Amino acid sequence: MSAGVPMLLVIDSTVGGSLTLDELEQFIHHLSGLGLEKVRTAYVGVDTARSWQNETTEILARERGFVARVFEIESEASLWLRHGEL
């Protein structure tokens, strides 16, 4: 269901508490099967207090076949989307 979208840039500016590991796993599980596995996805997490959560989510997503990376800087995320590994 990716609708032919080759890449996705997500800018997360939400603040608040972190999710538990179980909640992160459920989140990735719910994304599976939506076609996002085929979409190159860059996630920019603005709240650096949740960097462990963002990194854990990236690992879980990549283990399940997603092409995804987490960044703290939007310009780096955009560069990765256009040109690949940094």
pLDDT for 9-40, tens place per residue?
A: 999 888 777 888 899 899 899 888 888 888 99
Mean pLDDT over all residues of the chain?
A: 85
Q: How far apart are the first and last CA of the chain?
A: 28
Average of pLDDT values for 68-82? Answer: 93
pTM confidence score: 0.80
HEC readout, the chain: CCCCCCEEEEEECCCCCCCCHHHHHHHHHHHCCCCHHHCEEEEEECCHHHHHHHHHHHHHHHHCCCCEEEECCHHHHHHHHHHCCC
d(CA 36, CA 18): 23
Q: What is the pLDDT of residue 35?
A: 82
